[in-house]
Amino acid sequence: MRTNDDIWVREVGLRDGLQSIETIFPTEAKLDWIRLETDAGVPEIELGSFVPPKLLPQLADTKSVISAVGSEPTLHTSALVPNFRGAIDGFASGVQQLNYVLSVSEAHSQANVRKSVADAIADFGRICDYRKEHREHANVRLAAGLATVFGCTISGEIKVHSVIKVLEELLAHEPDEIVIADTVGFANPSQCREVFELVLSTVGDIPVSAHFHDTRGLGLANVGAALDAGVRRFDSSLGGLGGCPYAPGASGNIVTEDLVFMLESMGLKTGISLEGLLAARTCMVSYLTEEPTRGAFVNAGVPRGAVLASSVNRLGA
Amino acid sequence: MRTNDDIWVREVGLRDGLQSIETIFPTEAKLDWIRLETDAGVPEIELGSFVPPKLLPQLADTKSVISAVGSEPTLHTSALVPNFRGAIDGFASGVQQLNYVLSVSEAHSQANVRKSVADAIADFGRICDYRKEHREHANVRLAAGLATVFGCTISGEIKVHSVIKVLEELLAHEPDEIVIADTVGFANPSQCREVFELVLSTVGDIPVSAHFHDTRGLGLANVGAALDAGVRRFDSSLGGLGGCPYAPGASGNIVTEDLVFMLESMGLKTGISLEGLLAARTCMVSYLTEEPTRGAFVNAGVPRGAVLASSVNRLGA
C-alpha cells in the first residue's frame, strides 16, 4: 500500500541516459536491465522515446521494447514523446503513459524543436484531444513536462512567473502529471524550494515530478529542497548514466541508487530494493563500452546500523 | 563586512585530504596551494595536524607550514590536535586556532585513540586549562569537534541524546567553536536537520560548524539540511581530496568548489572567488601522482544567467 509520504521513482536511464551516450544497447540488453529494475521494485520505467530513429538510433527499438515488456503487475511503463506525431506512435505502442516535454524558454524551444512555446503547448492540447477522441486510449496517462524551468543555456535566467504561465496553459488541457525539469543542471536548492512551492500550489491534486541533473553536483541537494516543498516523485538514472563527468557540460541525471538510498535513509519509502538496484546496475554496466558511470552508494553500501524505510531493504549492515 | 547570513568555509584538504592519500606534498607545494586559496578569499585553512610524524608523514611539516604562512590579514589559520600533547605543540606553533576532535562513540574512541569518551572530554578540559594558565596563548581559539555524531562504523547507530550529553560536557570547558562531524559519511538530510537544530539550541552563541563527507553522495544535500537548521559554517576539501571514488568506503570530504558554488547560487555569501578556487585546484592537482579528485563544478562552470552572491564572483557566463 502506497501512502502520501511514499516516493515514486521513475527510472529514466533507458531514455535520458541512453540517448546521451555512444553505446547502442541491443534490445535484449535493455530487457535484461528493465527486468532487474522491475524485480527491484522500481514503480515506473521510461522505456524509450518516439523520436525519429535517425535522430536517436539508441532508441530506435522503443516500440519493440514496449511490446516485449508488455504489462507487468508492479510496473508502470512510459515513453517520451517530443510532438504530436510521436504521440500517435506512442498511443499505438501499448505503453501506459506518454511523457510530453516542452521548453518554457522561447529561445530553447525554437532552437530545439523549431517551435514557439505557444505552439508546443498547442501540440500537447492536440495530444490530449486525440486521447479524448480515441476511447481505446482513454487509459493512457499523459504527462506534461516543463524543461529549462531553472535556467536556459541560451537565454539564461527564466522568471518563475513565465514558468507558472506555461504551467497554467498546460493545466487547461488536464494532464495527468506535471514534470518540472532542470535538464541543464542549473537549479539550486533555494530556487527549487521557491519553484516547487509555487508549482504545487498551482496544480491542485495533479502529481508533480522533479527531474534533476547532477551537472554541478547539486542534484540530491535539490531533491532535499523539493522534498521540503512537498514533491514526492523523482526521475533518476541508474548509475547516473547519460553524462560524462570528465567532459565540460556533463549532464547526467541524478543517480537512482544514491537517490533511493537517500530517501530510504530519511525514512521515506520507495518500495525499491537497493540490492536489486545494484544488480541492475551491474547488468547495465556490463553492456557499456567506455562510458563512465557515477554514484557513491555502489562503493559505500548501507551504513552500519542504518534503518531503511522499505521492508524490501534489510536493516543496515 | 560579514553578516549573520554569510557562510564561513574552512578548507580542510591540507589536513583531512592529505592525511588520506599516498602522495606526500612537499612543503612548497602546500604553500602554493595555501597561497592560491588565500587569494581566492577562503577565510580559514586547516594547515595540518599535530600527530606523530610516524603516523602521518604527509603532515610531518605542519609546524613549518604554519610558520611559513604566518599571519595573513584575511586568513584565519587552524590545525588539528588529537590530544593534549599535540595541543602543546600547537600552542607553540603560532597557529591561530586548534581543532580538537573526539569521538562520541565509546567503541570508536577506544579503537581510535584507546581512550574513553570521558577521558577525551577531560583532555579537552586540560587543553582549555593550559590556555588559561599560559596567557601568551590567550588569543588562540579552541574548537571542540564531535566525530561519529551520525553513526559509527563499529557500533552503528548513535543516539542524539548521547551526542548532546557529550556536547554539554564539552561546553563546560567554554570552547570557541563546536564542530559536528560526519567523518564516516553516515548522515542523511533528515538526521542533519534534527541533530543541528538540537545542537544549535544547546550551544547558545557559540559558532557551530558542519563537517560532511560525501561517502554516499549525500554531502551537499546534508549541507542544505544543515543550512535550514541554521548552520553557517562548513568544512570542505578542494577537489574532494581524500577519498577514492573507486574504492569501497570512499570517504572524501565534500568538494570546496561545489559547496561554494551551491552557497553562492543560493544567494549566500562566502566571499570566495570560484575562479580563484579553480586556480588553486589546478595547482593542487598538479602535485598529485595518481589520486583522483572529485567535483562537478570544475567541468560545468557557472550557469548562464546565474547570479552569485559574493561580489568577487562576476555574474554568470
B297 contacts in chain A (CB < 8 Å): 216-217
Q: Would you list the domain boundaries of chain A? A: 8-300
Give the nearest partner residue to B297 out of A191, A217, A266, using CB atoms. Answer: A217
Q: What is the pLDDT of residues A130-187, one digit of tens each?
A: 999 999 999 999 999 999 999 999 999 999 999 999 999 999 999 999 999 998 899 9
Q: pLDDT at position A201, please?
A: 97
Q: pLDDT at position B1, please?
A: 54
* Mean pLDDT of all residues in B153-164: 94
Is the CB of residue B60 less than 8 Å away from at least one CB of chain A?
no
Residue ranges of alpha helices (H) inside B26-174 are 27-40, 62-69, 84-93, 106-113, 117-133, 160-171
- Residues of B involved in catalysis: 244
B228 contacts in chain A (CB < 8 Å): 228
On the CB side of A178, CA atoms within 13 Å amount to 26
Is the CB of residue A74 less than 8 Å away from at least one CB of chain B?
no
ipTM: 0.94
* Mean pLDDT of all residues in B166-187: 96
Classified by CATH at the fold level, domain A8-300 comes out as: TIM Barrel (3.20.20)
Long-range CB pairs of A159-164 (<8 Å, 24+ gap) are A160/A194, A160/A195, A160/A198, A162/A104, A163/A104, A163/A195, A163/A198, A163/A199, A164/A198, A164/A199, A164/A202
Closest chain B residue to the Cα of A308, Cα to Cα:
B188
B314 contacts in chain A (CB < 8 Å): none
Q: What is the pLDDT of residues A252-305, one digit of tens each?
A: 899 999 999 999 999 999 999 999 999 999 999 999 988 889 999 999 999 999
Question: Pairing relation of β-strands A97-103 and A44-49?
Answer: unpaired
Q: pLDDT at position A249, please?
A: 54
What number of C-beta contacts closer than 8 Å exist between A and B? 158
Please answer yes or no on whether A152 and B304 come within 8 Å at the CB atom: yes
Is the CB of residue B292 less than 8 Å away from at least one CB of chain A?
no
Is the CB of residue A305 less than 8 Å away from at least one CB of chain B?
yes
Please answer yes or no on whether B262 and A189 come within 8 Å at the CB atom: yes
A261 contacts in chain B (CB < 8 Å): 216-218
- Residue A97 DSSP class: E
Is the CB of residue A239 less than 8 Å away from at least one CB of chain B?
no
* 3 state DSSP class of B142: strand
Which pLDDT band, with edges at 50, 70 and 90, does A48 fall under? very high
Kindly tell me if the per-residue pLDDT of A243 is higher than 80: no
* Mean pLDDT of all residues in A225-229: 98
Q: What is the pTM of this model?
A: 0.95
What is the residue-averaged pLDDT of chain B?
Answer: 94
Give the nearest partner residue to B217 out of A157, A250, A258, using CB atoms. Answer: A258
- Smallest CA–CA distance, residue A14 to chain B, in Å, is 22
Is the CB of residue B217 less than 8 Å away from at least one CB of chain A?
yes
Please answer yes or no on whether A156 and B246 come within 8 Å at the CB atom: no
Is the CB of residue A221 less than 8 Å away from at least one CB of chain B?
yes
Q: What is the pLDDT of residues A55-106, one digit of tens each?
A: 999 999 999 999 999 999 999 999 999 999 999 999 999 999 999 999 999 9
- The verdict on whether A244 is a catalytic residue reads yes
- Please name the helix (run of DSSP H) or strand (run of DSSP E) that holds residue A141, with its range, or none: strand A141-147
Q: What is the pLDDT of residues B231-269, one digit of tens each?
A: 999 999 999 998 654 555 557 899 999 999 999 999 999
Q: pLDDT at position A183, please?
A: 86
Closest chain A residue to the Cα of B185, Cα to Cα:
A303
Q: pLDDT at position A317, please?
A: 45
Q: pLDDT at position B3, please?
A: 66
Q: pLDDT at position B317, please?
A: 45
On the CB side of B134, CA atoms within 13 Å amount to 14
Q: Largest Cα–Cα distance of chain A, in whole Å? A: 56
Q: What is the pLDDT of residues B4-38, one digit of tens each?
A: 679 999 999 999 999 999 899 999 999 999 999 99
B267 contacts in chain A (CB < 8 Å): 190
Is the CB of residue A316 less than 8 Å away from at least one CB of chain B?
yes
B186 contacts in chain A (CB < 8 Å): 303, 306
* Mean pLDDT of all residues in B126-130: 98
